[in-house]
Structure 1
Amino acid sequence: MLPDKDGPSMGGGTQGTEGKEDPSVTLFREYLRLRTVHPAPDYDAALRFLDRIANELGVPMKKVEVCPGRVVAIMTWVGTNPALRSILLNSHTDVVPVYQEHWKYDAFGAVKDTEGNIYARGTQDMKSVTIQYIEAIRRLTAEGKRFARTIHMMFVPDEEVGGHKGMETFVKHPEFQQLNIGFALDEGLANPEEAFTVFYGERSPWWITVRCPGSPGHGSRFVENTAAEKLRKIINSFLDFREQEKQRLDISECFTLGDVTTVNMTMVNGGVAYNVIPAEMDVSFDMRIPPTVNLLEFEEKIKKWCQEAGEGITYKFAQKHMDQNTTSTEDSDPWWNTFSSTCKNMNMTLKKEIFPAATDSRFIRAVGLPAIGFSPMNNTPILLHDHNEHLNEKVFLRGIQVYEKLIPALANVPAVAGEA
């Protein structure tokens, strides 16, 4: 039986003498309980929640329907010099599905255990960051602070299903251009060690289906040139390459997952009956390609595998991201210098990496804007999309303090090249 409330002694060290929970944690848990989960995310509930937050903060919120039923919400805190390019704090409202039978608690119950660990889908990816933005802004506005640059908090749909009806479409929208963005923060990953991981680029996601036609016939015969024979060769080519890349990662102390190409076979289709040799079979792969790889040459490699496997083989991309822009992490870059020096002043160690998966940052970088992926979660196992996803309330609360320092620093960056 799943508990529907906390036990008698919850806390993790952040409750007061009367057992009161920090209001920021309470708000976080409320947001986690909203079922913005695919395949039918309750986006209306998220928008109602955000409407309330905007009223509490005293900032306007604009809603832009970028696709039917897909709304981007933007809260704006106008700076003292709105002519300067703005700071974007981006987050997505949707979360991935769960297998409830594998969870200790209700995946949308936001149960907090005796160690202060909060269990819910979205604790790490990325509802924690959303609330950390909000609570940092709440504290800064309550103190009467003002900064030179305008700050936008943006909440987008559909990131977890590729962003096609979310950020990918919105960056081409006039409303996005009007935000006049100079620098963006978006989600990162937890780090099990003391350091905080920072992502300055991403691997390009390629989702490909290879279709293999062949000679049909009765299942009792040795039919030549079958679809399955071609399929086997295709699978071998892709998975042999996968093994090569895995070996590169295993033998190099310098490489991280974001530095190599991952290949995973995710779907196989074909056939109608046990005793009928199919006329066609197909196989799908999820590939993530680092910015160091020449994408045109990589596609030529795929073409060669198809040619070697037999005649008539074709392929089609469900997703083929070609942009390989990265954000500068040179000390001479004013944005990176401000970000990294502010973290250093908080005694935070940063570890720079290429993001191994895909986030909305890739669409922001694709239109020429600098973006850093950062979720302030150190000493925390990486559990995004995993069973029993959780985050400790101490880590969550420290993240608010981190943004309390980062947001003012970034919003007060002096005019950079191209600004008056």
Structure 2
Amino acid sequence: MSDAARDPAVRDVVVVGASAGGLATAEGLRRGGFTGRITLVGAEPHLPYDRPPLSKQVLAGEWEPDRLPLRPDADIEALNLDLRLGVTATGVDPRARTVALDTGEEVGYDALVAATGVSPRRLPGGGGHVLRDLEDALALRDRLRPGRRLAVVGAGFLGAEAAAVARGLGCEVTVVEPAPVPLAHAVGAQVGQVLTQAHRERGVDLRTGVGVTQVYDGGLELADGTTVEADDVLVAVGSVPNTGWLELGGLPVADGLVCDEYCAAAPGVYGVGDVARWDNPLFGTSMRIEHRTHAGEQGLAVARNLLNPDEPRPFAPVPYFWSDQYDMKIQAYGYLRGHDEVRIVEGDPAERRFLAAYRTGDRLVGVLAIGLPPRALRPWRRHIAAGATWYDAVGDPPAGETTEPREVVSDVAPA
């Protein structure tokens, strides 16, 4: 047992958010020897469950809700939590170290972990389905039948996954995306075009470069004056961090709870998962990551630092995410946003089997693969974790620099 675990100064830990990040924090504390009270507050009535399958296996009808829990009931019970499900935090007082709940209670803490995630961004008027929690997925699944018409607003990963599932179920699908190339801002134009072509080949009516002005009963009205008729509309236009309760307490908020490299936002206050924006020293930038594996890793990191306050460790992960669309398995490591160059270093995009490397400045900052096994990415992940330069990892200079001629498989203009 660590010295911090025995320190009577930290007796009560309140974790607000009962999903992957919040659960990982609680588990990390118990594994580290913490014997004090852990209050786990969750807005949903369910025990912690896995969210990525909602837009894949659950929406497709391949999984039922009983496959989603992150841990068996017995494992949750063994954590000896003060579990408050179906309860929402409405405010926090960092000076008094209390959290206000919508039940009217105030819960005291020595350490507070904010893991409240995000809420779906909605269009003006608020129409259409969203896809964030189990009830959302089940409600939409009940509507997806052969011949039904689904309109998806937003061609990001969530919208694309839902579109792929709906086509597999025999629905007619229209996807509307304001950007000229879906996901180009995140993964680059060439990769975005590969994903675009996959949807069009499978019969998705993908309309790019046009926005939505209205969601109405029966479809969409687009900015170019056209309409899309649909039985159901899924709005997948991003998310908003659930920080209102934190902001009321005067905690630093800017597109998430602002944290340092140790995931601390203020004395005794930490952020975990989708809601947290923290300084990642590996990339030298502040970032907020909305991925399942990241939330779990950050929860464990916060637990470790809570248990070892005299020797905290910076949280410097290589983020990872994946997406399943049709028969394509998409995997990525690193921080791809804001990249300066994308280069295909293995395979052929035309065959949807390739690996793309991403450069920011002189650093290799990310890789993305489609149709390759996980082992193909592992050496690249090690390069990213080691802070490798582009030249050391790729063997060629950045685009635009002159040197002796080298063979380059493919270059993509900065996205």
TM-score range, shorter chain: under 0.3
Larger Rg: 1
Q: Which structure's residues are more often strand, by fraction?
A: 2
TM normalised by structure 1 equals 0.23
TM normalised by structure 2 equals 0.23
Q: Which structure's residues are more often helix, by fraction?
A: 1
